[in-house]
């Protein structure tokens, strides 16, 4: 009689266990991976107004066999698996033609697009990856943007958390540089920076001259980006610096935000590109 050595049985059992675990992990996706819903983009497939509640600022977690988030983005059990989709297959095939151009306008640029598909007992959701820290999902005539960058989980009163919430507010409204738009963001800006803005707008501009600030200085852009990722802050005394990566379907770039602590509150005092002058210098140069 031939006996199978015990060690071989053990190895076979271990191999089977690891194979099952690997298969289960592939289908279920990463366990307890947290994201933050930051803002929404207009859905290009409908002119109808958005429906459903505002989800900005809500947390969403891909758990082991479950999706945990605000309604309707929750279900258990959930089958979570990766799929790659061409431009025409994104957002359940709802992108108008040419689908590739429409996808780029939303910030997707690499095709096919890596997608996290969540299948629930009575619903299904596709989360499309724009970059390592950003997912997009179409829901209720909106395209919601999710982030897992450092700002997404930072304490609200920390420098990183302050910039996160500032940019969530900024991306949810009028991003044009006007007295009204800056006033709407005043709680996030130092009084010194606000005074410089008031002085800037009080100076007359000749009709034949381009203004010193021609675009949005908070994202250093004329064509606004579709997403942002707030990095970890470096704090030295009452001053903090942190990188913010902005992106869309054509480019990705980094700005440095400087914050000052006044009492216990951190506020934005300057926005500085990798080359050239920052916001403060531009305000002074008019």
Where are the domains positioned within the chain?
30-147, 150-284
Residue identified by tokens 């470096």 is 234
CA atoms of 72 and 60, how far apart (whole Å)? 11
pLDDT digits (tens, 9 = 90+) for 152-197: 999 999 999 999 999 999 999 899 999 999 999 999 999 999 999 9
Handedness of CA 228, 226, 46, 181 (dihedral sign): positive
DSSP for 116-139 reads EEEE-SS-EEEEEEEETTEEEEEE
> Which two structure tokens, joined as six digits, stand for 278?
């920052």
More confident residue, 83 or 21: 83
What does the chain come to in residues?
286
Q: Is the pLDDT of residue 3 over 80?
A: no
Burial class for 100, CB neighbours closer than 10 Å (0-12, 13-18, 19+): middle
Using the predicted structure, report yes or no on whether residue 261 has a pLDDT greater than 90.
yes
Q: With cut-offs at 50, 70 and 90, classify the pLDDT of residue 31.
A: low
d(CA 129, CA 248) in angstroms, rounded, equals 12
Out of 2.60.40.10, 3.10.450.50, 3.90.1200.10, 3.40.190.10, which CATH number does the structure's domain 150-284 have?
3.10.450.50
Residue 27 has pLDDT above 80, yes or no: no
Interatomic CA distance for residues 238 and 29, integer angstroms: 41
Q: CA nearest 146: which of 52, 45, 252, 55?
A: 55
* pLDDT level of residue 284 (50, 70, 90 thresholds): confident
Distance of alpha carbon 19 from alpha carbon 139, whole angstroms: 36
Q: Residue for token digits 């983009």?
A: 41
Is residue 13 over pLDDT 50? Answer: no
Q: Is the pLDDT of residue 10 over 60?
A: no
Question: What percentage of the chain reaches a pLDDT higher than 70?
Answer: 88
pLDDT of residue 252: 95
Rg (CA), the chain: 23
pLDDT tens-place string over residues 81-118? 999 999 999 999 999 999 999 999 999 999 999 999 99
Q: What is the pLDDT of residue 256?
A: 98
- pLDDT greater than 70 at residue 260: yes
């Amino acid at each position: 009689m031939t006996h199978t050595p015990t060690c071989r049985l053990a190895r076979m059992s271990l191999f089977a266990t690891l194979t099952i675990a690997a298969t289960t992990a592939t289908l279920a996706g990463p366990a307890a991976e947290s994201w933050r819903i930051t803002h929404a983009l207009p859905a290009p497939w409908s002119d109808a107004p958005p429906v459903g509640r505002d989800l900005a600022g809500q947390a969403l977690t891909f758990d082991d066999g479950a999706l945990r988030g605000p309604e309707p983005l929750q279900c258990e059990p959930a089958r979570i698996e990766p799929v790659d989709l061409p431009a025409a297959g994104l957002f359940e095939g709802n992108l108008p033609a040419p689908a590739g151009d429409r996808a780029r306008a939303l910030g997707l640029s690499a095709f096919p697009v890596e997608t996290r598909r969540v299948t629930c007992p009575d619903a299904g959701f596709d989360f499309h990856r724009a970059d390592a820290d950003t997912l997009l999902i179409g829901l209720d005539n909106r395209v919601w943007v999710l982030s897992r960058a450092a700002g997404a989980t930072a304490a609200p009163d920390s420098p990183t958390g302050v910039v996160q919430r500032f940019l969530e507010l900024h991306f949810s409204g009028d991003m044009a540089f006007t007295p009204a738009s800056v006033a709407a963001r005043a709680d996030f800006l130092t009084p010194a920076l606000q005074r410089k803005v008031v002085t800037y707008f009080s100076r007359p501009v000749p009709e034949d001259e381009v203004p010193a600030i021609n675009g949005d200085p908070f994202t250093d852009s004329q064509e606004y980006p579709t997403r942002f990722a707030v990095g970890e802050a470096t704090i030295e005394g009452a001053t903090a610096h942190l990188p913010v990566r902005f992106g869309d379907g054509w480019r990705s770039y980094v700005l440095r935000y400087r914050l000052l602590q006044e009492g216990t509150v951190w506020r934005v005092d300057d926005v500085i590109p990798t080359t050239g002058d920052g916001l403060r210098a531009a305000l002074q140069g008019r």
